[in-house]
Amino acid sequence: MCRVLSANCCVAFRAHTHRPAASLIATCRSVLGSMYTALLPKLRFLSTQDELFKGIHMNNDEVISTLNDLIETCKDGEESYKTCAADAAKRKSDLQAVFGTLQHSCASAAAELQDVVRTAGGKPRTESSVGDAIHRGWVNLKGAIGGHNDEAVLAECERGEDSAKHNYSVALEQELPAQFRAVVERQYQGVLVNHTKIKALRDQFKVAV
């Protein structure tokens, strides 16, 4: 279409070369106006396509993989806080209740994500990344617990929450379907709350020491 209109412009230009400049300008304007009118529907179509492409999400396997990664993150937190709660109970630490609450929070988040994965037609993960409470972001937890020091344990919990924040942020950078994104975003807000709680406790124990 552009070639045809360009050819028409050239023909019109040659036909009017003997006329005054004003007449040539008017002719070019007329031809260019015709070009714009002819191309406008196609430009609108392309704009519509851009809007459609903005709504394209990850394929289903990618969605399930991303959600399963978050389940693993939650299970890591659940198992690690369970270990912390058990240690606090042995030492009669006031942190036992805090760790127990956070363990339950992580378990609930994992269960919700498992339901989401099933809804997506996938098989949800059921375990953490590794055994014995040595998880991604929690690698020094055993050493901290062995030191029988609340501040050191809280410092490792904060590292674990840092890891969870990162993992949720990465997930939210993906083009998740709206109904799944809403769940991940809500859980991410919970992760931020947990992180703030642990950091405040660590700072509190640090000052006390």
Domain boundary assignment for the chain: 2-54, 60-208
- 27/8 Cα distance (integer angstroms): 11
| SS3 state at 56 | coil
Phi, psi (5° rounding) for residue 5?
-65, -40
| SS3 state at 121 | coil
Q: What is the SS3 assignment for 132-166?
A: CCCCCCCCCHHHHHHCCCHHHHHHHHHHHHHHHHH
| SS3 state at 170 | helix
pLDDT of residue 166: 95
In tens, the pLDDT along 135-191 reads: 556 767 877 777 778 888 999 999 999 999 999 999 999 999 999 999 999 999 999
pLDDT of residue 114: 97
- 202/88 Cα distance (integer angstroms): 15
In tens, the pLDDT along 21-80 reads: 555 556 656 655 665 566 555 545 444 434 433 455 679 999 999 999 999 999 999 999
| SS3 state at 72 | helix
Quote the distance between the C-alpha of residue 22 and its chain's center: 59
Q: Which pLDDT band holds residue 127 (cuts at 50, 70, 90)?
A: confident
pTM score: 0.69
Fold that domain 60-208 belongs to in CATH: Ferritin (1.20.1260)
- 74/116 Cα distance (integer angstroms): 14
pLDDT of residue 110: 97
